[in-house]
Structure 1
Amino acid sequence: MKIEDTLERAVTSVIAQNVPSSASLIDRAYAHLRAAILSGQLEPGSKLRIREMCSTFDVGPTPVREALSRLVSQGLVATQSHKGFYIPELTQKEFQDIIDQRRLLESATVRTAVEKGDAQWRESVLDAYHALQEIERTWQASRRDFWNEWEEANRVFHMTLVEGAGSSWASRFLHMLHDQCTRYRAAMRRAGFISEGVQDDHTQLINAVRTGDGELAEQTIKAHVDRLPALCMPS
């Protein structure tokens, strides 16, 4: 598939649909490119030509360059002097590093959130969990693959959990780590519905939120993150 066709599909993706109509040209270009990367539509190694992106998004080169620079800072795009912008390759070593760092940071952050989160935060977590469950029910009852919708609902659930800790830095780093996990899953995931283990972990996290059990939340996140390599890395 041509890069232009891939970017056209990204414009209507679930992730990009969350962009408000009032968003700047830079934000819109960023959202569309991010959607194409996280969904796996832009494959590792793909070159990103500014002229093609300007044509697809109907914007000038400045917003596209700014969007690409933002994605470079987040590790979703790479650049070299003689190669230009491109999608980074995937490696097992990097993925394991991402998993290790996410386990450490998310388990500690979620424990703090569960132990100090207020009633409004708990309500927000429950709302995100119910939205995730609804996507799962729809997916199971349909022949269509709801992977992208599930990924977005799953990200919202996890990031809502993290917000209860009140740490903007933890949220920022975990947002980047979740995006990297999504990129790897999109490229290497096994076909079919998500595993029961993943769903059970989410249920356990909700139990921890309801009871204020920080230890349960911490251990559940560790086990949850440790499932990722087996779920999407080749044997």
Structure 2
Amino acid sequence: MATTAVTRTDGVHARLREDILGGVLPPGHRLKFPDLCKRYDTSVGAAREALTRLASAGLVRGQAHQGYVVTPLSVEDLSELTVARVEVECLVLRMAITEGDVRWEADAIAAHHLLERAPYLDPDNPARSTAEWAAAHAAFHEALLAGCGNRRLREVATGLRDEAELYRQWSITPALAKGRDVNAEHRAILDAAVARDTELAVRLLGEHISLTSRLLIDSAEA
């Protein structure tokens, strides 16, 4: 019985996450339990557990007396999140390059190989990346930081990156309009990290994170 409940929750969580990141449930959208139970053919308990997990990843937000909403996007929140990510992820990458061994290099190269070959844009929704690419993207960044021996710092970095995923999905359209070459950015970061060029790798990662923020903010202002 417990296994069935966990499986049901996992399924609702996966579908809700996909709909949020895919823009089906846009930022600010109220997530009412009757609607969720009908839409995902699930129980209130499973829906509540799924929302709790999504809240911990920053994709939904609880509001007093109103339940949950898809996390609203704001320039202020994005700016704050970007500063935190640059500080933490660059620190963790610096430590990873210092502490990482040949196995770390091999894992990062392998993760990048999978990322390069994953289909980028969803043919049914070209304003969003595919789930396969998004998973490979997260795995690549995690592999880059995995050489750092400080588990807590790695977990903080991963948590901040999870929070930024909603912003990243909404940045795809302005990025395409500006001709952003995300593949080239990833390749340059990897090459610098494997070459143990710490300063270059850290600078490139910081620019990579900041560019997503800048494109979204410029788009919002326009």
Q: Verify same fold: TM over 0.5.
A: yes
2:194 pairs with 179, 189, 210, which one?
210
2:208 pairs with 212, 224, 230, which one?
224
User: Counterparts of 2:189 and 2:125 in 1: how far apart (Å)?
Assistant: 28
SS of equivalent to 2:62? strand
1:81 pairs with 64, 73, 86, which one?
64
Cα offset, 1:143, TM superposition:
10
Moved more, 186-195 or 58-67: 186-195
- Amino acid corresponding to residue 100 of structure 2 in structure 1: G
1:56 matched to which residue of 2?
39
Moved over 6 A (4+): none
Cα offset, 1:98, TM superposition:
0.8
1:35 pairs with 3, 15, 18, which one?
18
Structure 2 residue 58 is matched with structure 1 residue 107: no
Cα offset, 1:43, TM superposition:
0.4
1:164 pairs with 141, 147, 152, which one?
147
The superposition leaves residues 56-107 of structure 1 with CA deviations (integer Å, 9 ceiling, x where unpaired) of 3333211211121222233221222321111121110110111100000011
Q: Percent identity over the alignment? A: 27
Total equivalences in the alignment: 211
Note the aligned Cα RMSD (angstroms). Answer: 2.7
- Amino acid corresponding to residue 209 of structure 1 in structure 2: A
Q: How does 1:144-155 map to 2 (within 5 A)?
A: 145=126, 147-148=129-130, 149-155=132-138
Equivalent residues of 2:144, 2:190 under 8 A apart: no
User: Counterparts of 2:95 and 2:12 in 1: how far apart (Å)?
Assistant: 35
- Name the CA shift for 1:53/1:39 in 2 (closer, same or farther; >3 Å): same
Equivalent residues of 2:5, 2:46 under 8 A apart: no
Equivalent residues of 1:44, 1:89 under 8 A apart: yes
User: Counterparts of 1:213 and 1:54 in 2: how far apart (Å)?
Assistant: 51
Equivalent residues of 1:110, 1:162 under 8 A apart: yes
Greater strand share, 1 or 2? 2
User: Counterparts of 1:56 and 1:229 in 2: how far apart (Å)?
Assistant: 32
- Amino acid corresponding to residue 215 of structure 2 in structure 1: L
- Name the CA shift for 1:143/1:40 in 2 (closer, same or farther; >3 Å): closer
